C-alpha cells in the first residue's frame, strides 16, 4: 500500500509540492523502506530516510565523498579543479590532513572573539529596518549577517562583499541535486574569477600577514605540512560558501518556524535562556542542509538492502531528523526538546567544521530580533522557497512590525 503511494507520488524532488513541504514525501519513503532505491531523478541512487541508517552511513568509512564534475570539461574544469582540492570532497588520509591544518586556525577561541562583532552587526542590520515597520528578513538580515561575518573572518575587503554574495549564490547550485548544465557553466565562470581573486589576495597576505583567518590558514602547520596554494584557494572558497549558506538558512528557517508557532515564539521571547535548545530544535525541525551524498567503496548491507560498490547514496538529513523512532512528535516544534541528537550538521569525520559559528550567529540573531522587535509578524501565508533540494532555503520572508523612532 505504502509502496504504491510512493510510486504514485514518484518522489520528484524537483516538483513544487516537494519544495514547499518535503516531509510527507520523506515519511512515505521511510514507511516504504528506510533505504530506498530511486530512479526518478537525473540519476539512480539510494535514498536513506531513517535516523539509524543515516547515522550508520555517516560514521562508516566504507562510504566516501566524491566530486562529480569532470575536470576535463572546458566549461566546468575550473569548478572541478576547486572541488578536487576542497576538504568537502576529500576522504582520509587527505581529509584528515586538511582538517587538522584548518582546525589550527578555525579555533573556538577565534569564534568566541567574534561575539561582539556579530552582536554589533545584528544590531546595525535591525537599526536600518526598525524605522520602516517592515523588512524582507532574508535579503536584509539572514543573508547579509553571515556574509559580513565570514568576509570579516577571512579578511576580505568590505568593498568586495556584494560581489561575494553573488558568487556564493551561484556556487551553491553547483553542489545541489537540482543543478543543471547552465548552473555548472555559471559555476565554472565564477570559479575562474574566484581563483584569480584569491591567488592575488593570498599573495598579499604572504607578504603582509594580518590578524585574519586567511593569514592563519597560510601559517597553519601540522608536522611540517602546510596547505599548498590550490588547497588554500579551495579552502577560502569553501569557507565563503559554507560560511554563509548554512547560517542564512538556519536564521531564516528559524524565524519562519517560530512565527508559525506563536506560543513557542512567545515562550522564547519571555525566556531568552532557552535560545540554545531553541536553535537545536530549529536545526532538527527545518534542517538547513536536507541531504548529503556518499558513494559506497564496496558492497555494504544497510537496513536490509545491499548497496553495491560505486552506487550513490543520498542521506536525507531532513527525514532522519523527523524519524518518529527517535524523536517524539517529530512534526511538532518544541524549543525545550531534550535530548536532541539531530544530524543537521552530520556526524563522523565530515561533521560541519563551522557548526559552532553557525550556532553562535543564529543565537545572537534570533534572540536579538525577538527582543528588539516584539511585534514582529509574518506578512505572507505562503513562504517562498528557493529552487534547491539539498538545502532548505527561503528565497524571501517578508515581515512587519510597529515602527520605532
Give the whole-angstrom CA distance, residue 370 versus residue 381. 20
Tally of domains in the chain: 1
Q: What's the DSSP call for residue 289?
A: B
Find the mean pLDDT for residues 207-227: 85
Find the mean pLDDT for residues 309-328: 97
Give the whole-angstrom CA distance, residue 140 versus residue 138. 6
Residue 58 in domain: yes
Whether the predicted pLDDT of 183 surpasses 80: yes
Per-residue confidence (pLDDT) for residue 222, from 0 to 100: 67
Find the mean pLDDT for residues 335-358: 94
Confirm if 145 and 365 have CB atoms less than 8 A apart: yes
Per-residue confidence (pLDDT) for residue 138, from 0 to 100: 95
Phi and psi, residue 385, nearest 5°: -95, 140
Give the whole-angstrom CA distance, residue 48 versus residue 7. 16
Residue 157 in domain: yes
Residue 267 in domain: yes
Domain that holds residue 311: 2-388
Confirm if 145 and 135 have CB atoms less than 8 A apart: no
Give the whole-angstrom CA distance, residue 106 versus residue 27. 37
Q: What's the DSSP call for residue 336?
A: T
Whether the predicted pLDDT of 41 surpasses 90: no
When comparing pLDDT for 270 and 84, which is higher? Answer: 270
Confidence of residue 169 (pLDDT cuts 50, 70, 90): confident
Per-residue confidence (pLDDT) for residue 376, from 0 to 100: 94
Give the SS3 label for residue 184. helix
Q: What percent of the chain has pLDDT over 90?
A: 64
Q: Beta 394-396 vs 384-385: how paired, if at all?
A: antiparallel
Per-residue confidence (pLDDT) for residue 10, from 0 to 100: 59
Phi and psi, residue 90, nearest 5°: -100, 155
Give the whole-angstrom CA distance, residue 31 versus residue 142. 35
Give the SS3 label for residue 134. strand
Cell of 134: 517592515
Residue 394 in domain: no
Per-residue confidence (pLDDT) for residue 251, from 0 to 100: 98
Residue 404 in domain: no
Longest dimension (CA), the chain: 67
Find the mean pLDDT for residues 76-105: 87
CATH at 44: 1.10.630.10
Whether the predicted pLDDT of 348 surpasses 70: yes
Find the mean pLDDT for residues 252-261: 98
Prediction pTM value: 0.93
Residue 402 in domain: no
Find the mean pLDDT for residues 222-231: 83
Find the mean pLDDT for residues 273-298: 97
When comparing pLDDT for 45 and 225, which is higher? Answer: 45
Cell of 313: 547514496
Q: Count how many Cα atoms sit within 13 Å of the Cα of residue 391 in the half-sphere of its side chain.
A: 25
Cell of 340: 536532541
Find the mean pLDDT for residues 172-185: 85
Amino acid at each position: 500500500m505504502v509502496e504504491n503511494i510512493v510510486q504514485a507520488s514518484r518522489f520528484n524532488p524537483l516538483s513544487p509540492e516537494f519544495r514547499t513541504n518535503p516531509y510527507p514525501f520523506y515519511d512515505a519513503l521511510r514507511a516504504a523502506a528506510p533505504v530506498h532505491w530511486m530512479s526518478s531523478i537525473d540519476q539512480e541512487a539510494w535514498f536513506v530516510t531513517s535516523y539509524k541508517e543515516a547515522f550508520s552511513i555517516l560514521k562508516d568509512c566504507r562510504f566516501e565523498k566524491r566530486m562529480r564534475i569532470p575536470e576535463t570539461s572546458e566549461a566546468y574544469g575550473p569548478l572541478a579543479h576547486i572541488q578536487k582540492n576542497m576538504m568537502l570532497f576529500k576522504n582520509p588520509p587527505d581529509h584528515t590532513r586538511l582538517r587538522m591544518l584548518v582546525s589550527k586556525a578555525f579555533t573556538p577561541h577565534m569564534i568566541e572573539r567574534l561575539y561582539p562583532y556579530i552582536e554589533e552587526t545584528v544590531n546595525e542590520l535591525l537599526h536600518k529596518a526598525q524605522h520602516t515597520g517592515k523588512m524582507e528578513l532574508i535579503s536584509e538580515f539572514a543573508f547579509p549577517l553571515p556574509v559580513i561575518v565570514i568576509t570579516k573572518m577571512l579578511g576580505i575587503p568590505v568593498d568586495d562583499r556584494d560581489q561575494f554574495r553573488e558568487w556564493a549564490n551561484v556556487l551553491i547550485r553547483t553542489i545541489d541535486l537540482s543543478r543543471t548544465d547552465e548552473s555548472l557553466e555559471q559555476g565554472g565562470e565564477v570559479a575562474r574569477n574566484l581563483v584569480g581573486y584569491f591567488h592575488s589576495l593570498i599573495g598579499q597576505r604572504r607578504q603582509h600577514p594580518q590578524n585574519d583567518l586567511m593569514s592563519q590558514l597560510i601559517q597553519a602547520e601540522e608536522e611540517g605540512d602546510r596547505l599548498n596554494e590550490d588547497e588554500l584557494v579551495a579552502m577560502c572558497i569553501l569557507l565563503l560558501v559554507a560560511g554563509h549558506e548554512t547560517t542564512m538558512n538556519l536564521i531564516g528557517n528559524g524565524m519562519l518556524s517560530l512565527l508559525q508557532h506563536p506560543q513557542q515564539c512567545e515562550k522564547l521571547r519571555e525566556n531568552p535562556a532557552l535560545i540554545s535548545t531553541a536553535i537545536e530544535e530549529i536545526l532538527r525541525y527545518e534542517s538547513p542542509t536536507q541531504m548529503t551524498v556518499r558513494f559506497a567503496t564496496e558492497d555494504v548491507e544497510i537496513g536490509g538492502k545491499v548497496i553495491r560498490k560505486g552506487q550513490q547514496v543520498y542521506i536525507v538529513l531532513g527525514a532522519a531528523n523527523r524519524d518518529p523512532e527517535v524523536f517524539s512528535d517529530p512534526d511538532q516544534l518544541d524549543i525545550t526538546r531534550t535530548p536532541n541528537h539531530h544530524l543537521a550538521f552530520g556526524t563522523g569525520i565530515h561533521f560541519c567544521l563551522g557548526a559552532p559559528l553557525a550556532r553562535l550567529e543564529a543565537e545572537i540573531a534570533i534572540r536579538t530580533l525577538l527582543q528588539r522587535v516584539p511585534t514582529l509578524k509574518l506578512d505572507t501565508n505562503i513562504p517562498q522557497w528557493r529552487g534547491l533540494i539539498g538545502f532548505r532555503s527561503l528565497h524571501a520572508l517578508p515581515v512587519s512590525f510597529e515602527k520605532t523612532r
